[in-house]
Structure 1
Amino acid sequence: MATGATIHTFDVQLADTDRGVYEDYSLRVARHPSETDAYMLTRLLAYGLEFTEGIAFSEGLSSTEEPAIIVRDLTGRLTAWIEIGAPDAERLHHGSRLAERTVVYTHRDPAKVMAPWAGKRIHRSEDIRLFSFDPGFIEQAVPLLERRNTVTMTVTEHTLYLDLNGMTLSSALHEHELA
């Protein structure tokens, strides 16, 4: 855990009907002092939306060599590089070279996130996807965060239904192609 990090716990019930993934799990998430609540929440949502065997949070902001979330197979091979926020083109290029799949989840305006990538060399950019939420969705959810949280994530027909500590919100999952 990062020094000075605030620990948040999340008891999550996930029902992703689009992918056929149904899991209950608990997470201890260390929020670094320089990490915003919006970033941490997006990281939590991305973890659930990408949930699969071998998924894990990396060392986070203290690690420049790994994305926020990684997926490894049973042999330890990196299969997914999952970035949060607005990574630069160089990080995407690096991640795309190392992993079979590279995705970005953002809590920001996707057009502004993608603009700096235009014209930059990004390995297999046509295969990289950027996912975003409806405008205001993350901002509505952030005030609901507590140190101990109960979360239900239901995904159906590319819509996320989020119950966070007894309040229910929903957002379409918007997928953007880089190339």
Structure 2
Amino acid sequence: MAIGATVHVFDVTLADIDRGVYEDLTVRLARHPSETDAFLLTRLLAYCLEYDEGIALSDGIAATDKPAVSIMDATGHALAWIEVGAPDAARLHTGSKSAERVAVYTHRDPRKVRAALAGKKIHRAEEIVLTSFDPGFIDSAVETLERRNTATLSVTEGQAYLEINGRSLSSPLHREPIV
């Protein structure tokens, strides 16, 4: 854990009907002092929306050589490299060479994220999927954040339904190629 980090605990009931994933999770996220609440919440959503056997969280912004979320098989082979926010092209290039699949989850304007990557060298860029949410979705959820949080996340037909600390929100999962 990064020095000066604030730990947030999320008790999440996950029902991802689209993928057939149903889990009760307790997720501990260390928020580095330079990490925004929006980044923290997007990291949580990426973890839940990618949840699979072998999934792990890094130290977030403090982890300079690891993705925000990764999925490894039992042998240690990288199955997925999942970034959050607006990663630079070099991180995506490294991830794409290291893992079978790369994904990006962003709380930012996806057009700006794609524009910043346009024309940059990224291995298998056409295979990288950028997932974003409706404007205001993350900001509304962030308003409810506490050190200990309770959430229910349901996904059906590409729509995310999030109840966090008593507030109900929804957004389509906007998925598109990064380039």
The TM-score bracket by the shorter chain reads over 0.9
Q: Distance in 2 between matches of 1:129 and 1:64?
A: 21
Q: What is the deviation of 1:62? A: 2.1
Q: TM-score, normalised by structure 1?
A: 0.98
Name the SS of the counterpart of 1:144 in structure 2. Answer: coil
Match status 1:38 vs 2:56: no
The answer for the alignment partner of 1:87 in structure 2 is 87
The residue aligned with 2:48 is: 48
Aligned to 1:171: 171
Query: What is the number of equivalent residue pairs in this alignment?
Result: 179
- Cα distance in 1 for partners of 2:167, 2:63 equals 33
Distance of 2:20 and 2:31 partners within structure 1? 30
In 2, the alpha carbon distance for the partners of 1:55 and 1:173 equals 20
Q: Does 1:158 align with 2:167?
A: no
* Structure 1 residue ranges without an equivalent (≥5): none
Amino acid paired to 2:166: G
Q: CA deviation digits over 1:70-108, x for unaligned, max 9?
A: 111111111100000000111111100000010000000
Q: Which amino acid aligns with 1:172?
A: P
Gaps of 5+ in 2: none
Secondary structure at 2:151's aligned position in 1?
Answer: strand
TM-score (norm 2): 0.98
1:103 corresponding residue in structure 2: 103
Moved over 2 A (4+): none
Taking every aligned residue pair, what percent have the same amino acid on both sides?
A: 64
Partner AA of 1:54 in structure 2: G
Deviation for aligned residue 1:28: 1.2
List per-residue Cα deviations over 1:34-65 (Å, max 9, x = no partner).
00000000000010000000111113222211
